[in-house]
Amino acid sequence: MRDVVENVTDLIGNTPIVKVNKICRDLPGDLYLKLEYYNPGGSIKDRIGKYLIQKAIEKGEIKEGGTIIEATAGNTGIGLAMMSISKDFKTIFVIPDKMSAEKVSILNAMGAKIIMTRSDVGPEHPDYYSNLAYTIQKETPNSVYINQFNNEHNQMAHYNNTAPEIWQQMEGKVDAFVAGAGSGGTISGCGRYLKEKNKSIDIVLADPEGSILAEYINTGEKKEAGSFLVEGIGEDYIPPYFDASLVDYAYTVSDQEAFLLSRRLLKEEGVFAGTSAGAIVAAAAKYMKIKGENKTIVAIVPDSSHNYLSKIYNDEWLKDNKII
């Protein structure tokens, strides 16, 4: 039972872990899910929202009444908005136009200013969401661009918080850790901590088909990126703080695999998992088929399906996008 707290941001972290009982019953090994949607803003990004704003304040990058600016797929924005509400900061978020309507509605309700930008342009284009966020910050007095993709404190939030929780909850009985990568903070921060505890722990990357990260891990080559529907993980470039040297296995997961597994997690396990979690559990299953015997595997569930109701559980949308 949690204590009474003074602020909703005090509830961030200490999320539960649950065993998967049905989906992987025919696979060797045991799979456990760390349910990050138990954070008050509904995702793992609450952790960096709190941590990165705290660091910005400590470094004097923002003063009272200032504005937090970020390029985000939505969940980081919610985490930053929650922390900003507690600190009386304004928020501006630049969001690619492929993101779910639910996330945008939540951010609007939290009082954020939303700038929608194109998701069909690459990192060299001025309308690419991180480039546009940088431009807006330069034009906004008393503001800070959090820049999760190029912020060393991103992975430190997970090194200092998420990974120690996993180690303590599992009593050190972890043979493999599975996560996706967008900014790379979760897999790099958790991977480094877990490897320091036990260098034989396998770090496993789940990557959407169309992202370049798994190909880069497996071949060392940077292929041309494609498009994908999974939100929050996968990239078209190598993020600066994505530590590829930590990753032992990388699996590509199709949109169809990710969406259908998200639905199975709810129907068979009662776990309200978002699309990235579907991809992560699919990658965990691929790993288990090859390496799972006598292994204890922990996978991240970054957020819930509540943010994707108009997609995951909308059969017409799924048919239109050739998922079913």
Distance set, CA 38 to CA 33, 34, 172, 182, 271 (Å) = 12, 9, 22, 20, 11
- Could you tell me which residues are beta bridge partners of residue 178? 204, 299
Helix intervals (H) in 5-74: 45-58
Structure tokens at 268: 């068979």
Answer yes or no: are the C-beta atoms of 279 and 253 closer than 8 Å.
yes
- Packing angle of the helix pair 75-87, 45-58 (nearest 10 deg): 50
Considering 19, 34, 45, 222, which one is annotated as catalytic? 45
104: nearest Cα among 136, 74, 70, 148: 74
Q: Which helix (H) or strand (E) holds 91?
A: strand 90-96
Active site residue 319: no
Residue 98 CA to residue 26 CA, distance in Å, equals 35
Residue 321 CA to residue 230 CA, distance in Å, equals 12
Residue 59 CA to residue 32 CA, distance in Å, equals 37
DSSP structural state of residue 1: -
Q: Which residues are catalytic?
A: 45
